[in-house]
Every structure is written in structure tokens, then in C-alpha cells.
Amino acid sequence: MRTSTSGRVGQYAALLAYLVFLAFPFLWLVSTAFKSPRELGSLHPTWIPRDPTLDNFRQAFDEQPLLRAAGNSLLAALAAAVIAVLIATPLAYVMARHRTRLAKAATGWVVVSQAFPLVLVIIPLFLVLKNLRLINSLVGLVMVYVVWALPFALWMLVGYVRAVPTELEEAAAVDGAGRLRTLVSVTAPLLAPGIVATALFAFITAWNEFFFALVLLKTADKQTLPVVLTHFIGAEGVADLGPLAAAAFLATLPSLVIFAIIQRRITGGMLTGAVKS
């Protein structure tokens, strides 16, 4: 297809506008993180810090228990991702391979669970977890995260399972391999990359999550990074900008790195869900 030169110029101009719109807030965050308090207080802020400093990072760690919070986040996200994938993979397999009523019901649940506002879910969960003495506990949070990550994990995994040809499994069955044996030694290895991608995605989702953590975790020693980040913003909405920016920047890094790794796979997985027949 041919596009005229003026058309090309227009396209590049539009692309540039998008690039600026998408990138500038993040660049400003990074810039603010390296500015000295004096510079932040002065009028006419600049894109490049005049005298870059690491003080904000030091101060951020002094003001709030960031390391502790990062540890909590890591623990909760890791546990949630591993458990979610462990229990979702078998169900996704059934949903992809069999058309039972159960598989249909599971698909229905995946769709419906997206529509409900979290308030309607969190109030009963809060009451249940309170009875189990799991409020202000990472165990309770992980339980909630697992179920919360399931719809998406199921959806991705169903796509990946579909991409594994049934012929391979049938061949294994003909060769006398039992059902479990077939799953473990034929299907699972082929699914492995998809499972890893799903786990990483579940990890990011849990690492970034805020609402459940806000409701369920009461004390600073249990809270996760997103909740602790909001403590930098005072009651009046006045924030200590430098440390806030520094901490926010650090909290984003893990997600960005992981996302960069799995980006291709996620879009790929989405396509297999739609295209592969």
C-alpha cells in the first residue's frame, strides 16, 4: 500500500504526539525523584535536575518502612502467583479440552467476576477473614489475591492449552501412557512458557494491587508497597514530593522489568485465544 509523503509526515507527527503524551509523566517522575528539596521549592522547575541528588531515596527509606513493605509485597505477590497458576492450570486444561457444563460455568464465572464492583466482594471477604482472624495478615491477603488473579490466569491459560495440539496427547495415550502421565510428561512441558508468562502476569497484578491491601492490612509492618506509598501523602493532601517520587519510582521498577520480559508473550497469548482454531 502506498501512502503519500504528506500522509507519512502526518503519521509521524501523530506518533510523536503519542510518544510525548505517554512518556512525559514518567520522565517527570524520574526528574522529580532526583531533585533537591531546595530545587523542588523553587519556582520554574526544569526537566533536568540542576544538581541531581540521591537524598530523596535516602529520605524515603528513612521516613517509611519501604524495605519491609517491598518484602511484604514480594511475599504476597510471589505466593499469589505461584498458587494461582498451580490451581488454575488444571482447570484451564479442562476448560479448553472438554465442553462440560462445569467448564461453561467456569467461563461464565470468569466473565461475570469482571462486572462486580470490588465493594460487593470485599465486605463479605472482610467479615469472613475477620472470623478466621486473617485480617491484617499476609495469608489472608494472599488468599484474596489468588482468587482475584484467577479469572485472568484462566483466560490466558485456556488460550495456551488450545495451542497444544490434541494429537500429541492422543499419541501418548495410544502408546499406553495414563492420563496423569500424559499431562505431566507431554502437555506440561509444552505449556511451560505459557504458565511462566501467566505467573509473571499474576505477580505484577498482585504487586500493583491497592484496594484489597488498603482494606485488609492495618499496621505498617504488614502493609504492602502501594499502601505505604500513600503514607507519603499527608492528611491535607500535602506531599513531600522528593521522597514520594523516589519511592514511587522504585516501586515501579519490578513491574516494568517483568512487563518488558513478558510483553510479547501476553499479546501473543491474547491472539492465540482468538485466532488459533
Partner 1 sequence: MTLVTATERPARGAPRAEGGRRPSGHGTWFLVLPALIPILVLSVGPLLYGISLAFTDAQSGRTRATQWIGGLNFRDLLHDTLFWESFRIGLVWAVGVTVPQFLLALGLALLLDQDLKLRWLARALAIIPWAMPEVVVGVMWRLVYNPDAGVLNETLRTLGLGDGRDWLSGLSTALPAVIVVGVWAGMPQTTVTLLAGLQNTPRELHEAAAMDGAGAWRRFRTVTWPALRPVALAITALNFIWNFNSFALVYVLTSGGPGGRTRLPMLFAYEEAFRYGQFGYAAAMGCVMVAVVSLLLALFLVGRLKGGDEA
Nearest 10 degrees: Cα torsion 10, 16, 22, 23: -170
Name the residue among 210, 170, 200 with its Cα closest to residue 186: 170
Which of residues 67 and 117 has its CB atom nearest to partner 1 in the complex? 117
Applying CB under 8 A, among 38, 98, 104, 181 the residue interacting with partner 1 is 98
Residue 176 binds to partner 1 (criterion: CB under 8 A): no
Task: Tell whether residue 28 is a contact of partner 1 (CB under 8 A).
Answer: yes
Among 74, 82, 87, 188, binds partner 1 (CB under 8 A): 87
C-alpha cell at 259: 512487563
In whole angstroms, the minimum distance from the beta carbon of 182 to partner 1 comes to 10
Q: Give φ, ψ of 154 to 5 degrees.
A: -60, -45
Q: Residue 211 interacts with partner 1 (CB under 8 A)?
A: yes
Among 34, 57, 152, 203, binds partner 1 (CB under 8 A): 152
What's the min distance (Å) between Cβ of 138 and partner 1?
16
Residue type at 10 in one-letter notation = G
**Cβ atoms of residues 122 and 211 within 8 Å:** yes
Tell me the three state secondary structure of residue 240. coil
Binding partner 1 (rule: CB under 8 A), the pick from 60, 66, 88, 195 is 88
Residue 53 interacts with partner 1 (CB under 8 A): yes or no: no
CA dihedral 137, 205, 259, 197 (to 10 degrees): 100
Please report whether residue 184 would count as binding partner 1 according to CB under 8 A.
no
SS3 127: helix
Short-list 153, 125, 82, 87, CA closest to 213: 125
Residues 231-250 that bind partner 1 (CB under 8 A): 232-233, 237, 239, 241, 244-245, 248
**Nearest distance from C-beta of residue 140 to partner 1, angstroms:** 10
